[in-house]
Amino acid sequence: MAKKYVPEPFRIKMVETIKMTTKEEREEALKKAHYNMFNLAGEDCYIDLLTDSGTNAMSQDQWAGVMRGDEAYAGGKSYYKLVEAGQDIFGYKFIQPVHQGRAAEKVLFPLLLGPGKFSISNMHFDTTRAHVELAGARAIDCVCPEAKDPSMIAPFKGNMDVEKLEALINEHGKENIGMVVMTVTNNSAGGQPVQMKNIRETAAICKKYGIHLNIDAARYAENAWLLKLRDDECRDKSIKEIIKEMFSYADTFTMSAKKDSIVNMGGLIGIKDNEDLYRDVKGRCISFEGFISYGGLSGRDLEALAIGLYEGLDEDYLKYRIGQMEYLASRLDDAGIAYQSPVGGHGVFVDAKKLLPHIPYYEFPAQALAIELYREAGIRTCDIGSYMMGNDPDTGKQIESEFEFTRFAIPRRVYTQAHIDIMADALIAIKERAETIKGYRITWEPPILRHFQAFLEPLEK
Ligand code: F0G
């Protein structure tokens, strides 16, 4: 039996029309896009689940804030409002706006990493991995073993494998570990939460070896809500208290504000108290992003972000938000479709390896399923698997991903229960004809972050 849908704690004041397309039109669009979901026109997607990043619906208060945005080049009101909100929520002394998450990575990482260094994470998101590599270093993923079995039910599949972390530090030498990155929630493992105890233990290991701990904070509020639901030590705490504690264990955070801060553009770097590091961050921010008090954003963006940071913490909102994931997941349970379970924070990550067992990793099963979902119902999803992982930077060989997920990333405050039912119905229809679906081959790819741009073609066999 499907779970009860948690009703929206808002009503709709403005609507955006979306286009209905025919199967023939979608087939044509796929060909034109070289079977790359990023090459499809947004307009041709009936339900766009490519990402939950920057696709959020802002509130009336945020839109009112847009009008109040202070566009002063230096020291505008909206900047101070944002810094105060960041200091209040995260308890960090220094808050630096940047234009998005990868800008935070670009500004901060070269200050901690260089050739010969390593970054170890519970899982690097793809741009995070790219910025580690662009800084000359290497990225090592160190997620707990439970994460690797999508059908195994475990509450904190985002966790760092702390024993392995310590072994890796000893293997490579503590002086060569430039930073440890704790990604909350763990996007690449399926939006899975990281337990408070695990953050604490990771921090203790970092402290023991004198290693910098950075939180990749894109979905920190969803992590906090999932801890309130699942972590005994967090059950009676407020979301704000949980967040304060999570961040108290780290030295810095990099944040894509396009997720839990419910805006369309923005990012932050937070520095707990290291004034020297803040000075260097400011210098690099001025070079790459713009002056310190706007960091690549308009004053109106800063204002909307300052408001969105608080809206993202509202418990009625978070209950509805995670409720959407639970509802979709429960419909898939009824149909026997496997996904990273229990469902996590920002989407449902369908196990394409299980649904399409006849397609090997080098023929990209999760990408094949994403293409099929578009063909079936105009739903745009994306591959979080071998297609996204790309090639090993040292050997040039295709990496075999631990998972082959097709991600249904749900934008915040955007889609209704009826839309979610269409997602479930499309998957069920595809399951019926799963064995007829074929793998894909790459015909062209760029050297880095290839999944955004590569061309593919269907295999005939
Ligand atoms: N870290 C995590 C965990 C992310 O999920 C993302 C982006 C970034 C960093 C980079 O942030 O896009 O603002 O530059 N994730 C998006 C996604 C793109 O679809 O999951 P950005």
Query: What are the pLDDT digits (tens) for 343-366?
Result: 999 999 999 999 999 999 999 999
**Which CA distances in Å does 83 have to 53, 79, 94, 285, 305?**
22, 6, 8, 15, 10
pLDDT at 293 over 80: yes
Mean pLDDT of all residues in 397-411:
94
Contact 415, 84 (CB under 8 A): no
Give catalytic residue positions.
Answer: 73, 125-126, 216, 218, 259, 451
> Quick one: average pLDDT of 365-388?
97
Rounded distance from Cα 99 to ligand 1 centre (Å): 12
Instruction: Determine which residue's CA is closest to atom 10 belonging to ligand 1.
Output: 101
Q: What was the pLDDT predicted at 411? A: 98
Atom of ligand 1 nearest to the CA of 183: 3
Is the distance from CB of 459 to CB of 442 less than 8 angstroms? no
Q: Give the whole-angstrom CA distance, residue 326 versus residue 347.
A: 9
At 310, is the pLDDT very low, low, confident or very high (cuts 50, 70, 90)?
A: very high
Task: Quickly list DSSP for 238-301.
Answer: -HHHHHHHHHHT-SEEEEETTSTT--SS-EEEEESS-HHHHHHHHHHHHHHT-STTTTTS-HHH
Q: What is the CA radius of gyration of the chain?
A: 21
Which CA distances in Å does 267 have to 332, 360, 425? 34, 37, 35
Which mutation among 124, 187, 383, 384 tests ligand 1's pocket best, with the greatest number of atoms within 8 A of CB? Answer: 187
Where does residue 54 rank: exposed (0-12), middle (13-18), buried (19+ CB within 10 A)?
A: middle
Collapsing DSSP states into helix, strand and coil, what is residue 306?
helix
The residue-averaged pLDDT of 419-434 equals 98
The residue contributing the CA closest to ligand 1 atom 20 is 51
- For a ligand 1 pocket test, name from 51, 55, 105, 125 the mutation site with the most ligand atoms within 8 angstroms of its C-beta: 125
Class of residue 290 by CB neighbours under 10 A (exposed 0-12, middle 13-18, buried 19+)? middle
Q: Are 158 and 344 in contact (CB under 8 A)?
A: yes
Banded pLDDT at 77 (limits 50, 70, 90): very high
Please report which confidence band the pLDDT of residue 267 belongs to, taking 50, 70 and 90 as the band edges: very high
Q: Is the pLDDT of residue 273 over 90?
A: yes
**pLDDT tens, position by position, 10-23:** 999 999 999 999 99
Q: What is the per-residue pLDDT for 181?
A: 98
CA of 434 to the centre of ligand 1 (A): 30
The 3-state DSSP class for residue 195 equals coil
CA angle at 137 for the pair 136 and 138, rounded to the nearest 5°: 135
Give me the chain's average pLDDT, please.
97
Ligand 1 centroid from CA 127, angstroms: 7
The residue contributing the CA closest to ligand 1 atom 9 is 101
pLDDT at 393: 81
Residue 38: per-residue pLDDT: 97
Over the stretch 34-56, which tens digit does the pLDDT of each residue have? 999 999 999 999 999 999 999 99
Beta bridge partners of 339: 350
**For ligand 1, mutation pick of 256, 258, 380, 405 (most atoms within 8 Å of CB):** 256
**Ligand 1 atom nearest residue 127's Cα:** 10
- pLDDT tens readout for residues 143-154: 999 999 999 999
**Ligand 1 atom closest to Cα of 258?**
13
For 171-200, the pLDDT digits (tens) are 999 999 999 999 999 998 999 999 999 999
Protein residue whose Cα sits closest to atom 19 of ligand 1: 51
User: How much distance in Å is there from the Cα of 407 to the middle of ligand 1?
Assistant: 13
**Distance in angstroms (rounded) separating the CA atoms of residues 386 and 400:** 5
- What pLDDT, on a 0 to 100 scale, did the predictor assign at position 447? 86
Determine what percent of the chain is predicted with pLDDT higher than 70: 100
The answer on pLDDT for 461 being more than 80 is no
Lining residues, ligand 1, CB within 6 Å: 51, 53, 100-102, 125, 127-128, 183, 187, 216, 218, 256, 258, 267, 409
